[in-house]
């Protein structure tokens, strides 16, 4: 039985590289494999920082993935698998369409995406993949924070300063002279630049709290 597999990691964790590797391995064995990507891969190619690339079908949020995959599946020798890059940008309905593809056509789906936005929240697409996937797996290539700890968060920097507000995707020119870049952080350093006022309540030296206790019991 085919499965819907969702692999997640930060930027620099090798998502596109793995997507390309799976696509290459299947295609080289003559198995039908559709590579799809989303939004900012305008060129129609998925490429990794390691320099490999392959042609991909580029989508937007309006495309019915079930129909696209069914059409590709019914022509020629059929599809064995679909590999999805930039999976965080899929809309939840498209994730459901992928799940339906797995169940109705027995096509394997391998999806690769980011877990959280620069705001530290799950992407909508990612949330849906976590909800419906048969397998959820964190990529084991460990990107690092500047401090050396494992990077778990994506930070957006505007003119070198970390920001927590703004559009989820910045496409093209932001209108001013602002230079938008991304960097990786461990949680501690991702949170470090949140406004002091947001965190002060956590560290106030107030009176000790009077904590209530209760008995936990189990039927086991
Ligand atoms: Zn750090």
Sequence-separated (6 or more) residues with CB below 8 Å from residue 198: none
- Are residues 147 and 53 part of one domain? no
- Per-residue pLDDT of 185-202, as tens digits, reads 999 999 998 865 465 555
As residues whose CB is below 5 A from the ion ligand 1, the structure lists 145, 147, 149, 186, 189
pLDDT for res 100: 97
| Residue 151 CB burial class (10 angstroms; 0-12, 13-18, ≥19) | buried
- Per-residue pLDDT of 154-193, as tens digits, reads 999 998 899 998 877 765 455 567 788 899 999 999 999 8
- Are residues 119 and 40 part of one domain? yes
- Of the candidates 86, 108, 131, 167, the residue annotated as catalytic is 86
Place of tokens 């970390």: 162
Q: Which of 160, 168, 166 is nearest to 125 (CA)?
A: 168
- State in Å: Cα 90 to ligand 1 middle: 29
Strand 153-158 relative to strand 180-185, pairing:
antiparallel
- For residue 172, the SS3 value is coil
- Are residues 173 and 97 part of one domain? no
Strand 53-55 relative to strand 45-47, pairing:
antiparallel
Give domain status of residue 177, yes or no: yes
Work out the average pLDDT over 80-89.
Answer: 93
Give domain status of residue 209, yes or no: no
Give domain status of residue 178, yes or no: yes
Give domain status of residue 49, yes or no: yes
Domain extent, residue 77, equals: 1-141
Give domain status of residue 220, yes or no: no
User: Percent of the chain having pLDDT more than 90?
Assistant: 51
Place of tokens 């590579």: 35
pLDDT for res 197: 44
Specify whether 55 is catalytic.
Answer: no
- Are residues 127 and 58 part of one domain? yes
pLDDT for res 56: 75
């Amino acid at each position: 039985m085919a499965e819907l597999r969702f692999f997640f990691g930060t930027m620099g964790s090798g998502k596109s590289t793995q997507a390309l590797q799976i696509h290459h391995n299947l295609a080289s064995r003559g198995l039908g494999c559709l590579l799809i990507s989303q939004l900012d891969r305008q060129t129609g190619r998925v490429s990794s920082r390691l320099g490999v690339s392959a042609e991909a079908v580029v989508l937007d949020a309006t495309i019915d993935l079930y129909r696209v995959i069914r059409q590709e599946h019914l022509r020629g020798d059929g599809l064995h698998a679909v590999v999805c890059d930039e999976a965080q940008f899929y809309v939840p309905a498209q994730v459901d369409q992928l799940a339906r593809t797995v169940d109705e056509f027995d096509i394997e789906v391998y999806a690769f995406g980011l877990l959280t936005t620069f705001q530290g929240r799950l992407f909508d697409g990612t949330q849906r993949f976590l909800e419906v996937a048969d397998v959820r797996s964190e990529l084991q290539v460990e990107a690092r924070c500047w401090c050396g700890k494992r990077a778990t968060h994506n930070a957006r920097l505007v003119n070198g300063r970390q920001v927590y507000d703004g559009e989820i995707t910045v496409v093209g020119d932001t209108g001013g002279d602002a230079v938008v870049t991304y960097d990786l952080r461990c949680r501690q350093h991702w949170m470090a630049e949140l406004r002091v006022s947001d965190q002060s309540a956590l560290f106030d030296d107030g009176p000790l709290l009077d904590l209530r206790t209760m008995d936990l019991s189990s039927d086991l």
